[in-house]
Structures are given as structure tokens and as C-alpha cells.
């Protein structure tokens, strides 16, 4: 019973924190650009307003368009519940391993790509095809980077990997870990639609990837899609934080340890978010045809991490 | 590093915001302090576009009051329209308005959008914005100052 409550609490925490993370990243960026910027709570204001607005369905859209926001939110909430963010012992440990988490994230991405195609507009289809190119290159990298860590532990269970890191910190600082961290960081940026792969603040349809697929969403549906996108960023940054900085994660479901874990998790997320936002100020978006080169580079890093961890271990 | 030095030496360029909005629009309550703005140029000379661009620039920074430009009318709560509505742009303007989810507001920016300005009576001019879509707020000026545009948007966000 307690692991299930814990999973629900973790999902609620990610749902609450995700829009704040976006607000924090926008605030950091605004500060570095010399602007005053919006409040950190502003994304929550936008979500609250959009949840109250009517959703509009385009005349040509079908079932994929209406189902995609629900699928996207459901997969994000499920991953948020089972991933080892607060405690390494989830209710589904043994089932909810690395492959399932990556698969759920991919399911959400595919649902949104189908929704983009379903509207029948040129930009929706364009965004969908680009998203699939990126997803096809990113998902193997995500898997490989974490495989490099799982060979050390002998399990693909994310909770076991994080628990091993938390109890034996010396093993976190290995060449394989450094390579895997670099690969996973690049894959995270690409999967979450951040610079240099996609620009979340763009208004130019021709350069859009994620935005192009959601151009036709309005009101409540748009709120769900944006919320899920924020949750995916939070999930990926949270995984990055807990796999490579595994301290503070509770290894037993003790209330005090869990409270500390929640605080440490939020601090880690905020630090990573600030780092990403500050880095984005110095970056321009890559030309689309250069993106596969970057992602191939991150895949090679992941491959080297796997080789290093099996040879050097 | 040139850019880091630049960020440090320039610091914050946003001007201090004036006191809160004079009279928030009645419809502002439904938006709850956030307004996504879609812009349509219905035939303007682009003078107003430059000023709108400035309103979202670091100096005037409309984003701190909860307004944000978006890429699609489906995402928008507020439609800013500039220029006298030309015959060719009346249809796209109407379609943009219809593509927006309720509740939706229209802000006519500039003298041309209010009463066709110096283009009144032109052979390609259909009429002011209020002839095509219902207008909720107007910003006078040719072109209006960025501060006036920011003030109108603050009336919509209520902040």
C-alpha cells in the first residue's frame, strides 16, 4: 500500500513542479537577456486559464487528434509515478524498468506525431516527420546511455541503478558514467525539444518541431499537451539528476527520508533547469540537417559508455 | 567570453514598470492574469508592427505583465490587429478570429485600425477593424508608442 501512495505522491509532485520548472527557466533566460521577465508562477496561470477555455477540434481531425493529449498526459504521469525520483523502491519495481520508461516516453511522442498528421495541415505533418526523425535517433541513445549504467548493477531496473549509486557513490565517478552522462544530457535536450535541437519560443513555423504539431490544439487540449511537455522535461531532467547525482534519494520508505528526498529532488531539478536555461542563451538552433550529426555523436558517446563499462568493470 | 562580459556590463535594460493598469477590461477576469497574443497585420504600413515588436523587447517587456506572443490563433486569447482592413485581408482576419477559442478579445492597434487613418477612402480599403470583427480595446497613435501598447495589454491581463 505504501509504495502505491508513494508513487501517487511522486506523480503529484512532478505534476505540480513541472510548470514551475518552465517558469524558472524562462525567468533565468529573461534575466540573462536583460529583461524583467514573467513570474515563476506564470506557466501555472496560463495552464489554469487554458483549462477553462473551450477546446476547438478542426473539421478534418479524427480520433488521433482528440486522443493524443490524454495519451501524452497518461504516459507522462505513469513515468512520473514509477521512475525513481523520491524512493528507489516503487510499487512496480521489476516491471517499470528502463525499457518501459523509454517506451512510454516514445508512446507519448508517437501519439502527438499522429495527432499532428491527423489535422491534415502542412505544418502538422512537417512537425510530425521531424519529431519522428529526432525520436528515432534519441531513443536508442537514451537506452544505450542507461545500459552503460545497468551493466555495473546487473539490472535494467532504474530504481536498482539509482540505489546502487546512492549506496556506493565511488562507482558513480567512472569514465563510463561520464560518457553516459554526456550522451543522456544531449538526448534529454533533443527529447524535451530544447535548444539546439528545437526552439520552444519560436514563432517561425518553418523551424518548428514540437510547436508545429500542437499548432491546432486549443483550450483544454492545449493545456494538457503543454503540461505533459513540461512533465516530460521534468522527468528527463529528474532521471539525469538521479542517475548521475544519486544522493538524497530515499532507499527505504521512511517519511523523514522521503521529505528530504523531495526537497533534494526539487533543488536538483531547479539547478539543472537553471543550467539548461543559461546554456540556451549561448546557443543558436542547429540547422535541421545538422541535428542527426549531433544525435549520432551522442549515440557514439552512449556506445563508448557501454563498451567502457563492460571492458573497464 | 564576449557574451558573458556583455551580459554583465549591460545588466537589466527593462525600464521600471509604471503603476498597474488604469482600467482592466471586464473580460480580463476570465483570463486570470495571462494573455496569449496573436497578431494580424490587416494592411498596415508596418509602423505599428515595429512598435509591437518593441513592446515585447527587453526595454518595455510586456511579458512581465503576463502577455506572450504565440504562433497560432488556436493558442491565443487576444488578437492584436493593425492597419485599415484591406479587401484582401478581411477574409483572413475573420478566419483568424473564428479560429480562436472563447473567450477571445480583439485589440485594434494604431489609428488606421480605429478609423482607417490616412488610408480612409482608398480603393483597396474595406474599413476599420470594427467593421470586420468586434473590437474590445483600442490603442490610438500613428504609430502608438510601445508603452501605450503595453498599457492596453495590461488592461487585458489585469496586471
Model ipTM value: 0.89
Chain A residues in contact with B146 by the CB 8 A cut-off are none
The CA distances from residue A192 to A33, A112, A186, A266, in Å, are 22, 13, 10, 18
pLDDT in the model for residue A157: 85
- Domain residue limits at A83: 2-312
**Do A56 and B101 make contact, defined as CB atoms within 8 angstroms?**
yes
The whole-number pLDDT of residue B42 equals 93
A34 contact B CB<8A: yes
Helix %, strand %, coil % for chain A, to 5? 75, 0, 25
What angle, 0 to 180 degrees and rounded to 10, lies between the N-to-C axes of helices A2-32 and A255-281? 30
Mean pLDDT of chain B: 89
Place of cell 506564470: A42
Write out chain A residues lying below 8 Å of B95, CB-based.
Answer: none
In B, minimum Cα distance to A27 occurs at B64
Question: For residue A32, which of A213, A283, A224 has the smallest C-alpha distance?
Answer: A283
The answer, yes or no, to whether residue B108 has pLDDT greater than 90, is yes
Annotate B14-59 with DSSP letters as a single string: PPPPPSSPSS--TTHHHHTT-EEEEEEESS--SHHHHHHHHHTSTT
Q: Which residue of B has its CA nearest to A203?
A: B71
| pLDDT band at residue B79 using 50, 70 and 90 as cut-offs | very high
The single residue listed with the C-alpha cell 513542479 is: A17
Chain A residues in contact with B33 (beta carbon < 8 A): 45
pLDDT digits (tens, 9 = 90+) for A49-75: 999 888 888 888 889 999 999 999 999
- At A161-178, the pLDDT tens digits run 888 888 887 777 888 888
Provide the total of helices (H) and of strands (E) in chain A, helices listed first. Answer: 11, 0
Q: Can you read off the three cell numbers belonging to residue B120?
A: 480612409
Q: With beta carbons less than 8 A apart as the criterion, state whether A120 and A60 touch.
A: yes
> What is the distance in angstroms between the Cα of A109 and the nearest Cα belonging to chain B?
20
Question: Tens digits of per-residue pLDDT, A251-308?
Answer: 777 888 888 889 999 999 999 999 999 999 998 888 888 899 999 999 999 999 999 8
- Count helices and strands (H / E) in chain B: 6, 7
Q: How many CB pairs under 8 A join A and B?
A: 85
B102 pLDDT more than 90: no
B interface test, pick of A31, A48, A127, A218 with most B CB neighbours within 10 Å:
A218
From the list A203, A219, A281, which residue is nearest B69 (CB)? A203
CA angle B56, B60, B62 (to 5 degrees): 50
Least confident of A46-50, A72-76, B6-10: B6-10
Name the pLDDT band for A313 (thresholds 50, 70, 90). Answer: low
Over residues A226-232, the mean pLDDT reads 94
For residue B72, give the nearest of A35, A55, A215 by CB distance: A215
Domain count for chain A, please give it. 1
Q: Which of B130, B156, B118, B146 is nearest to B38 (CA)?
A: B156
Mean pLDDT of B102-126: 91
Q: Which of A34, A204, A208 sits opposite B11 (nearest CB)?
A: A34
Q: What is the pLDDT of residues B26-65, one digit of tens each?
A: 777 778 888 999 999 999 999 999 999 999 999 998 898 9
Which tops the pLDDT comparison, A252 or B68? B68
Query: Does position B22 have pLDDT exceeding 70, yes or no?
Result: no
Residue A44 confidence (pLDDT) above 90: yes
Q: What is the pLDDT of residues A84-123, one digit of tens each?
A: 888 887 777 677 788 899 999 999 999 999 999 998 888 9
Domains recognised in chain B with CATH numbers: 38-157 (3.40.50.12280)
Amino acid at each position: 500500500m505504501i509504495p502505491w501512495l508513494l508513487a501517487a505522491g511522486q506523480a503529484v509532485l512532478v505534476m505540480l513542479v513541472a510548470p514551475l520548472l518552465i517558469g524558472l527557466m524562462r525567468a533565468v533566460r529573461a534575466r540573462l537577456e536583460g529583461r524583467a521577465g514573467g513570474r515563476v508562477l506564470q506557466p501555472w496561470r496560463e495552464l489554469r486559464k487554458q483549462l477553462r477555455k473551450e477546446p476547438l477540434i478542426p473539421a478534418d481531425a479524427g480520433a488521433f487528434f482528440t486522443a493524443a493529449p490524454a495519451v501524452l498526459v497518461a504516459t507522462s504521469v505513469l513515468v512520473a509515478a514509477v521512475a525513481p525520483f523520491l524512493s528507489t523502491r516503487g510499487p512496480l519495481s521489476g516491471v517499470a524498468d528502463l525499457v518501459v520508461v523509454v517506451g512510454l516516453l516514445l508512446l507519448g511522442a508517437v501519439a502527438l506525431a499522429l495527432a499532428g498528421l491527423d489535422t491534415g495541415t502542412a505544418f502538422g505533418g512537417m512537425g510530425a516527420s521531424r519529431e519522428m526523425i529526432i525520436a528515432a535517433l534519441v531513443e536508442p541513445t537514451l537506452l544505450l546511455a542507461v545500459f552503460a549504467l545497468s551493466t555495473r548493477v546487473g539490472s535494467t531496473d532504474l530504481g536498482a541503478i539509482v540505489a546502487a549509486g546512492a549506496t556506493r557513490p565511488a562507482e558513480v565517478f567512472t569514465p563510463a558514467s561520464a560518457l553516459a552522462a554526456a550522451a543522456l544530457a544531449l538526448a534529454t535536450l533533443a527529447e524535451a525539444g530544447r535548444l539546439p535541437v528545437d526552439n520552444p519560443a519560436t514563432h517561425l513555423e518553418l523551424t518548428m518541431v514540437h510547436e508545429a504539431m500542437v499548432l491546432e490544439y486549443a483550450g483544454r487540449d492545449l493545456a494538457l499537451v503543454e503540461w505533459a511537455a513540461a512533465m516530460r522535461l521534468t522527468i528527463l531532467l529528474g532521471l539525469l539528476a538521479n542517475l548521475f547525482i544519486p544522493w538524497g534519494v530515499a532507499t527505504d520508505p521512511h517519511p523523514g527520508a522521503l521529505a528530504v528526498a523531495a526537497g533534494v529532488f526539487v533543488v536538483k531539478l531547479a539547478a539543472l533547469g537553471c543550467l539548461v536555461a543559461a546554456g540556451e542563451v549561448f546557443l543558436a538552433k542547429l540547422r535541421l540537417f545538422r541535428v542527426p550529426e549531433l544525435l549520432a555523436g551522442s549515440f557514439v558517446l552512449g556506445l563508448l559508455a557501454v563498451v567502457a563499462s563492460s571492458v573497464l568493470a | 567570453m564576449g557574451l558573458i562580459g556583455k551580459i554583465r556590463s549591460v545588466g537589466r535594460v527593462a525600464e521600471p514598470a509604471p503603476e498597474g493598469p488604469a482600467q482592466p477590461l471586464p473580460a480580463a477576469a476570465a483570463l486570470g492574469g495571462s494573455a496569449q497574443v496573436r497578431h494580424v497585420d490587416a494592411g498596415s504600413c508596418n509602423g505599428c508592427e515595429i512598435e509591437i515588436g518593441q513592446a515585447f523587447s527587453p526595454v518595455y517587456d510586456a511579458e512581465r505583465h503576463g502577455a506572450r506572443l504565440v504562433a497560432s490563433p488556436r493558442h491565443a486569447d487576444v488578437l492584436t490587429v493593425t492597419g485599415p482592413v484591406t479587401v484582401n485581408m478581411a477574409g483572413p482576419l475573420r478566419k483568424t478570429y473564428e479560429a480562436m477559442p472563447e473567450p477571445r478579445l480583439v485589440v485594434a492597434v494604431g489609428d488606421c485600425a480605429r478609423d482607417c487613418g490616412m488610408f480612409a477612402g482608398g480603393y483597396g480599403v474595406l474599413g476599420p477593424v470594427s467593421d470586420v470583427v468586434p473590437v474590445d480595446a483600442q490603442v490610438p497613435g500613428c504609430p502608438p508608442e510601445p508603452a501605450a501598447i503595453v498599457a492596453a495589454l495590461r488592461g487585458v491581463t489585469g496586471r
